[in-house]
Amino acid sequence: MVDTNQKEFRKRDLLYVVPLWLLSLILPDPHLDHLRKESRFRRRDLFYLGGLLLLPLMWPDTHLHHLMVLAGINAILALGLSLFLGYAGQISLGHAAFFGIGVYTTAILTTRYGFPTFVAFWASALVSAALAYLIGKPILKLKGYFLALATLGFGEIFLVIVRESHSLTGGVIGIFGIPWFSLAGFSFDTYLKQYYLTWGVLIGLLLFSKNLIRSKIGRAFLAVATSEDAASTVGIKVAQIKLGAFVIGAAFAGFAGSLFACVMSTANPETFGLNLSVLIIMMVILGGMGNLYGPIAGAIFLTWLVDILGKYQEYSLPIYGLILILLLISFPDGIGTRLNIRLIYLISYFGRKKRREKAEL
């Protein structure tokens, strides 16, 4: 169903082709993802899955493994937000707060009360989701800028609470000595093991999101994003759908936070300020809104970019900003989306032409 693509082919797109082709080997095709729901699992997915499994084995560099663990955690965050931002069309500047709730829930449960990490993992998601429910109920009546400001305020309030409640969270110093993630006696104590853990969780959540998107809930998300009036006239409870997207996003962030706590073994309020919220939004926007693979691609790319730029200390921020601006200018609808539209279009260009001629006869 490539011809559902209305983007027109232009000559200068030929210039994109080579880098596009190279990049598209890494970047999945996000566009039209929800349109092709009949095929649940495509051959291309298998390709990505294989690449994912083999990558750390082919490239046995612990720094890369660690980076990919962080990228995976960021991808879970971005995936959760993309349901809320990319599909349901709402904005949240406080997504990092739910990540923080996940981190602290795991930290407190494992170090203070000696819960196993597996239990803390689920508890983190539950606590994040429950808080999102309580916060979202009043906040989600707001729209656009007001919603952005309200969620921003929530994120900041959460940060202050964490810093000031020393007895519970350890204040600015944080909590140390969170155990490795372990399951039935198997401890995920190397970066390689954590890599498989993180990306395994991500794949699970990706499948969950995929199912959600191709079901009636996904249609309701898209309906709410485009026209709330029309959505309400077919009986979609707009408030409930928005709240659902918010809570699911928060639960994902809770999972991510729990993994992060186990990987870094510390919980510190500095890790989930506004910076992280904005970074997650950038991942979603840069990767491509309204699809599920885009945010993952965005997360890998930005995690890697931030790591690379770390070497250039004082110049890192201007370069970072410049790269983002350039990317957004050349790929306004997301790297993943744009690349794949072009590529799919190119591949199918002649085939489509032939088919069209046949149809006209």
First-to-last alpha carbon distance for the chain, in angstroms, is 21
Closest distance to another protein from the beta carbon of 91 (Å): 17
Binder among 123, 248, 280, 292 for another protein (CB under 8 A): 248
User: By C-beta, is 14 or 35 nearer to another protein?
Assistant: 35
Q: Are 218 and 292 in contact (CB under 8 A)?
A: no
For residue 220, state whether it binds another protein (rule: CB under 8 A): yes
Strands annotated E in the chain: 175-176, 182-183, 186-187, 266-267
| Cβ neighbours for 149, distance < 8 A, ≥ 6 positions apart | 93
How many angstroms separate the CA atoms of 340 and 331, rounded? Answer: 11
Size of interface with another protein, in residues (CB under 8 A): 34
Binder among 229, 314, 357, 360 for another protein (CB under 8 A): 229
User: By C-beta, is 166 or 356 nearer to another protein?
Assistant: 356
For residue 356, state whether it binds another protein (rule: CB under 8 A): no
DSSP-assigned beta bridge partners for residue 187: 182
Binder among 21, 122, 196, 208 for another protein (CB under 8 A): 208
Q: Are 175 and 105 in contact (CB under 8 A)?
A: no
Residues 277-296 that bind another protein (CB under 8 A): 290
For residue 222, state whether it binds another protein (rule: CB under 8 A): yes
Closest distance to another protein from the beta carbon of 247 (Å): 8
Please list the alpha-helical segments (H only) found in 216-315: 216-226, 228-233, 238-264, 274-287, 293-309
For residue 1, state whether it binds another protein (rule: CB under 8 A): yes
How many angstroms separate the CA atoms of 276 and 66, rounded? Answer: 18
Residues 34-93 that bind another protein (CB under 8 A): 34-35
DSSP-assigned beta bridge partners for residue 176: 266
Residues 102-141 that bind another protein (CB under 8 A): none
Residues that bind another protein (CB under 8 A): 1, 4, 6, 34-35, 208-209, 211-212, 214-220, 222-223, 225-227, 229-238, 244, 248, 290
